[in-house]
Amino acid sequence: SNAPSYTRVFAEALVREAEEDPRVVAITAAMPSGTGLDFFGKRFPSRTFDVGIAEQHAVTFAAGLAGAGMKPVCAIYSTFLQRGYDQVVHDVAIQNLPVRFAIDRAGLVGADGPTHAGSFDIAYLANLPGFVVMAPADEAELKHMVATSIAIDDAPSAFRFPRGDGEGVDMPERGLVLPIGKGRIMREGTKVALLSLGTRLGECLKAAEDLETRGLSTTVADARFAKPLDGDLIARLAREHEVLVMVEEGAVGGFGSHVLQFLAQNGHLDRGLRVRSMVLPDSFIQHDSPSKMYDEAGLNAPHIVAQVLAALGTGEGLEARPGRA
């Protein structure tokens, strides 16, 4: 593909922000090339810190920099940020310091297997008070989310993105600061609503095309934020559709769980809305190509279609794997 990698888009966007704001600094834990910070470091050697294989120190160091008025960006793989979780909670979240976490290798990563998959970051960050948690649907959105996180100066924030190449979308000249906690409608329908967080958006749009051919008018929305949730958007999707399906590249306990909590607390489940939450299966998926892994995880377009048809009671005979799709 001619599309740039997400990692490269992140690195270039961060350089752009750092050129305009001397307070932007970057931190890596012995992963400069894996996170793209080698590119940043060539441009800003004195503003790039490699702390070695010490994620806990990376997080606390970033907290100290934020407390001193810098704009630290801590670039760590989802799976390795788990090593610094205590520091994320105590040194960043409780202090409400504006550390930015650039979480690479989010979701299923392919060849490196379960040790490198980033399945749990939405679940372990979106439950922290005050955190802003974002996931771009494509590389243009990632550029906007880098700009957005740099602009958030009163709270910790994180944006998660996958390994590998982007979708090949047109790239904006520069990243725009997004309205915090607001999603976007990608296509309007009347009966079924698909609410995507992250790069499953393309599969949701494919599923919507398929559903349209079956006479099922489908809305597709991109949540952009796992926290704060876009309550207005979620309420609207719940009110105006018979079926609502959330789709994400993460384990149970993440985005879909927060949406369900919101729906329940606000009475949106009291009127017969059919809701499904599509997440990674409750298992560690062995290495394969990412597309095959997502097939095994049951998160591709045919699985989304099958979920909708099952929810409507018209799904007989479809290849919806029990408990997986």
Q: How far apart are CA 97 and CA 154, in angstroms?
A: 7
For the entire predicted model, the pTM comes to 0.95
Write down how long the chain is: 325
Rounded-to-integer distance, Cα 111 and Cα 105, Å:
12
Distance CA 33, CA 31 (A): 6
pLDDT values of the chain reduced to their tens digit, one per residue, 325 residues: 579 999 999 999 999 999 999 999 999 999 999 999 999 999 999 999 999 999 999 999 999 999 999 999 999 999 999 999 999 999 999 999 999 999 999 999 888 889 999 999 999 999 999 999 999 999 999 999 999 999 999 999 999 999 999 999 999 999 999 999 999 999 999 999 999 999 999 999 999 999 999 999 999 999 999 999 999 999 999 999 999 999 999 999 999 999 999 999 999 999 999 999 999 999 998 888 888 999 999 999 999 999 999 999 976 444 444 444 3
* Alpha helices (H) along 218-273: 231-240, 255-265
3-state SS, residue 256: helix
Residue range 6-160 in CATH 3.40.50.970: yes
- Domain residue limits, the chain: 6-160, 184-312
Domain 184-312, architecture per CATH = 3-Layer(aba) Sandwich (3.40)
**3-state class (DSSP) for residue 322:** coil
Q: Which residue has the tokens 């834990």?
A: 29
